[in-house]
Structure 1
């Protein structure tokens, strides 16, 4: 790998990937793309080649890919046409003579039974990359431990956790561990059209999440499974938009249906150490 482009470089995943890359390769060999010009100033100051642009702007993609042989496509958010944005990156990589493309996807058990329709974009992007003719590496990542911040709030720590996740289990892992492992693969391994599943070493139910939080908080925090209509009503009372409620609900229903139970030791192998356990991750995420 001579030069690499990191897209979404000012986001949490992108920044952590960069931190690991910079330990092993010169900043001048790294291109970074972000739509947030103000956040690129710091990266430019340490010698990175910075480009303001987006997945919708193919001109900016072409500029960022000039002289690059490897691109890390960090998946887009869900505010626009994510699938088209991903196609733009793949198509421009081919046009610019990029040799290798890596993509951050999701580790889910069965794409045919998903509630969360947004996750289909990941699988469709994988298909598009595999059909592109580019050398590829796909990183299927487990649900971040940080996700728990969005569904467990201060009130939950006081009154108990009420979620429609049943007895579903998740192979939670920290985003930082995944990002570090991604960087290690980019630095050390050829692109051989391989898929890595970066998951925790075990799965956890929300009963176990509550137990871990109880130990950290020094008080009992209960988890009570609820039905979806009751959960939706609570979200509506909090004033959340319908689109947000639908998004969160579909994530949680997939957990209930054990979509998030895939386990491999790919993450541990690429880190060269065990990834953070759920209690370790919760301590960091909730600042205990």
Structure 2
């Protein structure tokens, strides 16, 4: 019997991966790890073992991973602290005898110019150094990063950014979660560059929002500095505004484009398109 665990199971990607995993393996073979186990009561009722695991409290981690064979480590969201957090999980996994670890990294982590990529590169290095057989799930940007801000786009008729004509091969959390579950269930080692089958520019995206909503929406491209200033002007803290502006600008260099088809191959179906994602978001 193989025991499968998902660390970060209460997050939006974690729940998608957990839901898909439960279609592949018996719930009694699954462990869901979370900082707040109370948020996973619905899974416990299905037979999933729910355990406390706090990336910032290493003492919780070894016990949480006891008996686990295959582990999905979903990257934390505490930018600047993630290497230490992930390192604590990796150390605990090694101590607990985990035999396979999959980690959610960033697309083309080894060469990505996006500032956020460095913590992922450092985590990947820790996993390699651990000697544990592993999979590096190099995820593209979530489609929801774009569809989640449709309300202001429709209100003001503008989508701003610094992405230029960069092509974005985004994917939904559902598709990326399904890929993570497939890799976890089957212990598929290696580097997986996971991106949507079809790419779009921000101009394409804005035009599609306009077409589907029947409202005028246009993409306005800005310099990285001007976009950062705009984000700060609407209340984002400086470091977050800088991070978002950097990611947007690096998109113009092709940082979020990939046409390998690895994601659709793993999930056994075409990935959701941006047109479908926009339609779903507008229907809510």
Shorter-chain TM-score range: over 0.9
Matches for 1:83-122 after TM superposition, within 5 Å: 83-108=83-108, 111=111, 114-116=113-115, 118-122=116-120
Q: Is the 8 A contact 1:173 1:281 kept in 2?
A: no
Match of 1:146 in 2: 144
Match of 1:255 in 2: 251
Match of 1:284 in 2: 280
Q: Is the 8 A contact 1:109 1:261 kept in 2?
A: no
Aligned length: 283
Q: Is the 8 A contact 1:109 1:258 kept in 2?
A: no
Structure 1 runs (4+) greater than 4 angstroms displaced? none
Inter-partner Cα distance in structure 2 for 1:276 and 1:84 = 34
Inter-partner Cα distance in structure 2 for 1:21 and 1:115 = 30
1:248 Cα offset (Å)? 1.1
Q: Is the 8 A contact 2:176 2:263 kept in 1?
A: yes
Quick one: which of 153, 156, 178 aligns to 1:156?
153
Match of 1:266 in 2: 262
Q: Is the 8 A contact 1:168 1:258 kept in 2?
A: yes
Q: Structure 1: where are the runs of 5+ without partners?
A: none
**1:135-164: per-residue Cα shift (whole Å, max 9, x none)?**
1011111111111146x4533323322221
Match of 1:36 in 2: 36
Inter-partner Cα distance in structure 2 for 1:110 and 1:5 = 26
**1:67-87: per-residue Cα shift (whole Å, max 9, x none)?**
111111000112561001111
Q: Structure 2: where are the runs of 5+ without partners?
A: none
User: Normalising by the residue count of structure 1, what TM-score does the alignment of the two structures yield?
Assistant: 0.91
Quick one: which of 181, 184, 190 aligns to 1:183?
181
1:97 Cα offset (Å)? 0.9
Match of 1:166 in 2: 164
- State the Cα RMSD in Å: 1.9
Q: Is the 8 A contact 2:168 2:256 kept in 1?
A: yes
Inter-partner Cα distance in structure 1 for 2:131 and 2:229 = 47
CA 67–115 in structure 1, closer or farther in 2 if over 3 Å, else same: closer
Match of 1:6 in 2: 6
Asked if 1:235 corresponds to 2:231, the answer is: yes
Q: Is the 8 A contact 2:147 2:277 kept in 1?
A: no
